[in-house]
Amino acid sequence: MSRGPRSSTELDWRPSASLETLRRRAELLARLRGFFAARGVLEVETPLLQAATVTDLHLHSLSVPLDVPLASRRMYLQTSPEYAMKRLLAAGSGAIYQICKAFRDGEAGSSHNPEFTMLEWYRPGFDHHALMDEIDELLVEVLGASAAERSTYGEVFERHLGIDPHRVSLDHLERAAAERGIELAGAGPADRDGWLQLLMSCVIEPRLGRGRPSFVFDFPASQAALARLRLGDPPVAERFEVYVEGVELANGFHELADASEQRRRFEADLAQRRACGLDDVPIDERLLAALEAGLPDCAGVAFGVDRLLMLVTGAEDLRDVVSFPIDRA
Amino acid sequence: MATYTTSQFKSGLKVILDRDPCSIIENQFVKPGKGQAFSRVKLRNLLNGRVMEKTFKSGETIEAADVHQTSMQYLYSDGESWHFMVPDTFEQHAVGGEVMGDAVKWLKEQDMCDVTLWNGQAISVEVPKFVTLEVTETDPGLKGDTSSGGSKPATLETGAVIRVPLFIQEGEVLRIDTRSGEYVSRAKE
């Protein structure tokens, strides 16, 4: 006799989202596509499997062994379609968007699943403020939200913690966390950015976007990721995040277009990865070649579609809006 | 030494924190848009029951606690310790009064309990949610007062004193909710 399943009730074969929610997902996707069609933004597809991947210290790519001619023996599931889409922009695509799957190892919880649906779009000729205007319109259209409120990163830290995040000392950040009941087991974050991110996630984020969406922009230069820097006092990264009802929904940049600056950031990431004992990852030379050829001045943003659907349906857990979360996949 | 990393955290996991065994009640993964991820964890200290909240950087490790629950039969008390036995193996455990806590109010010999062991030592005893115990002492109810509402104290065979309805007499067997310590009903014969 073959070894059958334990029992049909024990095996979670059913979707964790209701069929009604899955219908709402289809409606949401149609509505998003309608939004971009009306604005003449082109839908594109790029490969989920990539020869190179993100160097960011805090993003963990999944890799896949491969056995086909011409390709690498090991490829990466994209953590976002950013690099491939920038290559399309450099090739002259004009405004583009994509709805696709992205994969991030180590991320699971009530608002994370290691495989999730991402909406990413790029607008040549826009800076981060012009893109925030468009996001505002999108949120009004799909969530029925009120017009968004905008604050700088410095302002939200000032408002919620009485801290100037650009100048505060490490000791002060540590004290601020302790005062808000955040007890760390083991060593705390190693640097100021780690503490700022802890306070942002645990104290500020839950209070953002209440009643109406909140855009936070002009991040510390040390948290630029792929955004361009604006010199000044303090220097800031032209990066923003979107929060609705305490949920982080999107991250966007006025995109860095300078190939040599991009290469420096990749290499700095790799040096940090080595210092932390993380796997080396290949730098995306094709992206750098595309930047070298010329990326149009543009802004881009990545949106969590599953979280958007959580807000649309009022779901508290990501499991309630995806058909099969990772433990049922 | 067995350890868990933050990606293995889930409710029910038994870990050592500040040298005490704890059980994870809730684990919340948080991560800003870009940057360091954290696990915000609610834990219950299994020795004193206190609940606390700790934040771990993603990827940190914590020592595993050798904690498990075993069903045991209560044998007897010698006044200082309460003695239990695992029916299958006849293995016996002596449990002190401070660990027994309120459980002593509801236990009679032969009852089965869930005993939690940490490195082989009993650290908590969970009595059944409902027990049946005999009334050994109570005032006779007042004649004619059979209406609802009234209650009086009654001493049970374990020595525990609870409030019971006025119509309950000595020698009756009652069903008690051990979580609230309240009378539920007369036990069915």
Q: pLDDT band at residue B52, thresholds of 50, 70 and 90?
A: very high
Residue B143 has a pLDDT of 57
* pLDDT above 90 as % of chain A: 92
**Terminal C-alpha separation, chain A:** 27
Q: In this structure, what DSSP letter does residue A184 have?
A: B
Q: Which pLDDT score, from 0 to 100, does residue B150 have?
A: 81
CA separation for the pair A89, B17 (Å, rounded): 51
Query: CA-based Rg of chain B, rounded to a whole angstrom?
Result: 22
CA dist., res. A157 & res. A196, Å (int) = 9
Token reading at A287: 């992206």
Residue ranges in chain A assigned as alpha helix (H): 19-38, 82-90, 128-143, 153-161, 170-179, 192-199, 259-275, 285-294, 305-313
Contact status of B37 with chain A (Cβ, < 8 Å): yes
Residue A308 has pLDDT above 90, yes or no: yes
Instruction: Find, in chain A, the residue whose alpha carbon is nearest to that of B30.
Output: A201
Task: Give the gap in angstroms from C-alpha A258 to the nearest C-alpha of chain B.
Answer: 21
User: In this predicted structure, what is the pLDDT of residue A7?
Assistant: 55
Determine what percent of chain A is predicted with pLDDT higher than 70. 97
Write out pLDDT tens, residues A141-194.
999 999 999 999 999 999 999 999 999 999 999 999 999 999 999 888 989 999
Average per-residue pLDDT for chain A: 95
Query: Looking at beta carbons, which residues of chain A come within 8 Å of B29?
Result: 107-112
Q: Is B16 on the interface with A (CB under 8 A)?
A: no
Region of A28 (left: φ > 0; alpha: ψ -120 to 50; beta: rest) is: alpha
State the pLDDT at residue B189: 60
- Cα distance from A238 to chain B (closest Cα, Å)? 14
Q: What is the pLDDT of residues A200-214, one digit of tens each?
A: 999 999 999 999 999
Which of A201, A202, A326 best tests the B interface by mutation, with the highest count of B CBs <10 A? A201
pLDDT of A74 higher than 60 = yes
The pair of three-digit structure tokens given for residue A265, joined into one six-digit string: 């950031």
From chain B, the residues in CB contact with A249 under 8 A are none
CA A321 to chain centre: 18
pTM of this prediction? 0.85
The pLDDT-based confidence of A47 (bands split at 50, 70, 90) is very high
SS3 B135: strand
pLDDT for residue A3 is more than 60: no
Cα A281 from Cα A283, distance rounded (Å): 6
